[in-house]
Amino acid sequence: MSSRRFSERRARRVGYCLLTLSLVVIAILLGGAAGAQVSEGKPASILMLPLLVVDAQHDALIQVTNTSRNRRFAHCFYIDGTSWQQTSFDLTLNAQQPTHWVLSRGRQVDASDPPCSPTNADCDAAGVDPGLVPPMLPGFRGELLCVEVEQSGFPIGGNALVGVVSLTDVTTGDVASYPAIGLSGFDTSNLDGTLCLGGGVSDTCPFGAEYSGCPQTWTLNHLADGTPDALAGSGSSVQTTLTVVPCAHDLLNSVPQPAVLQLFVFNQLEQRFTMSTSVNGWAERHLADISNVFTRGVIGTDYLQTRVTDANGGVMLLGREIRSSGGAQPVSTSAALPLHPETTFAGGEVIVLPPQF
């Protein structure tokens, strides 16, 4: 074989190797990036439901489903956004089983609950009860965090859970639904009570990330506060609220985690405004309360894009749009706003669970 032909063959071989390697690297990057994204609606191992409210006017219906073909278990925590007191309970879900409960009523385990039928419409508790779920008392504003565990209580990355919350105005019947925000689990769990969200190997996370990392930046497309509803017209208005929950949770020591959010607002004239706000553990804010820049009169256009970034960690956001009809007897309706996670916090965070004792 001539040396020239040998060189050509070697060059082709190297080229193929480089191409293959590149494809592999791209696949890893893409796969890693995809795995590092939170999911709304995709089964996950950690479910976060950032906004739950019980008061004279509001209640919430919570639905959780096991999407796998095996029995699954979850350890859940209600966390009061004001007092940071947590209330925990356990769920057991059979294969493919959905379940639900009303926030203010909870759910008992009662095998004698009658099923729904043409003659029995009072059947809210029908079904295989998932466990004893405590009710939250009026005045509760906070979040629900559910962690998939195996039967003896060790957290696992089974990625079987999905959830939906319907926030209901019990006086008007208005409903706003949002899917739980899910964090995918990996098979790197070291079965301790410190859940490692993203990031790499560390003293706290000796096997690196056990769950996908949290978003660091979210994008929100919304109306400026005070913009009239397009259908209701003059006198009506739209307001946007944000519920902010830092991803890191210390449920062992019951310490709320702080977050400082940078907000970048773009109007339709490509003008940009910036502001910041701090959150301790949990917060629900009207955008107009964060800054009057969000008001129609200040920002100058009706439609806005806002990017929210936590410089020091990941954060979960839920947007809600409240439209009021105005007039002598105004009525209002609300809807969850879709938010888009853009980037993932690379530093890694933890959720620390209290021990079982």
Partner 1 sequence: MLRRLALASLIFLLTATGAYADAHVSPDEAAAIVNYPYVFVDVQTGRDTFLQLSNASDTAVDVFCVYEDTTGTCANAAQSCFENADCPNPGTPQSVCFPGFNLRDFRIGLTAGQPIGWLASAGLTSLPLPGGSVPGVGGQFRGALRCVVIDAAGVPTEANVLEGVATVERFQASPTTQIDVGKYNAIGIQAIAGTGNGDSFLVVGGGVGEYSGCPNVTTFNHFFDGVLDPVVGDGHIHPGLVLLPCTVDYANQVPAQVLVQYLVFNEFEQRLGTSKLFGAQQVGLLSAINQAIYDINVQGTLTGQTRLLPLQSGVLALAFEQNDATAGQGGTFTADFAVQQMGTRQQGDLIVLPPIQ
Partner 2 sequence: MTGGDATHFKFLGGRGLRLLLLAVLAAPVAAQNGPSTSRPGSILFFPQLLVDADHETVVRVTNTSNSMRLASCFYVSGDTLQETGFDLVLTKQQPTHWLVSTGRQVDPTDRLCSRVNGECGDAGLDPGLVPAMQPSFRGELVCVQTDESGFPSPGNSLTGEVTVRDTASGDSATYTALAVQGNPDTFISAPVLQLNASDLLPNGDYAACPQTLVLTHLAAGAADPLAGPGSTVQTELTLVSCSQDFANRELTAVTVGFDVTNEFEQKLSASIQFTDWLSASLTDISGVFGVALAGSASLRTQITPLPGGPGVLAVAREVHAVGAAAPVTASAAANLHIQGSRADIGASDVISLPSAF
DSSP string, 210-238: SBPPPEEEEEEEEEPBTPPPTTT-TT-EE
- Binders of partner 1 among residues 234 to 293 (CB under 8 A) are 251-254
Backbone phi, then psi, for 232, in 5-degree steps?
Answer: -75, -25
CA 184 to each of CA 46, 300, 317: distance values in angstroms, whole numbers, following the listed order = 7, 40, 17
Question: Which partner in partner 2, partner 1, none is near 136 (CB below 5 to 8 A by kind)?
Answer: partner 1
In the stretch 66-105, what mask flags binding to partner 2 with x, by CB under 8 A?
Answer: ----------------------------------------
* Residue of the chain from 4, 5, 110, 173 that contacts partner 2 (CB under 8 A): 110
Check binding of 109 to partner 1 (CB under 8 A).
yes
Residue from the set 7, 85, 172, 204 that interacts with partner 2 by CB under 8 A: 204
Helix (H, G, I), strand (E, B) or coil at 191: coil
Which CB atom, from 109 or from 311, has the smaller least distance to partner 2?
109
Among 2, 3, 112, 234, which residue interacts with partner 2 (rule: CB under 8 A)?
112
Distance (Å, rounded) from C-alpha 59 to C-alpha 102?
A: 7
Asked if 207 and 304 touch (Cβ cutoff 8 Å), the reply is: no
Q: Alpha-carbon distance 28 to 182, whole Å?
A: 22
Q: 116 to 145, contacts with partner 1 by CB under 8 A?
A: 131-132, 134-137
Q: Under a CB-based contact definition with an 8 Å cutoff, are residues 294 and 223 in contact?
A: no
* Contact call for residue 156 and partner 2 (CB under 8 A): no
Query: Would strands 215-223 and 194-197 be described as parallel, antiparallel, or unpaired?
Result: unpaired
Residues in touch with partner 2 (CB under 8 A): 108-112, 152-155, 190-194, 204, 206, 353, 355-357
Residues in touch with partner 1 (CB under 8 A): 85-90, 106, 108-110, 131-132, 134-137, 251-254, 354-357
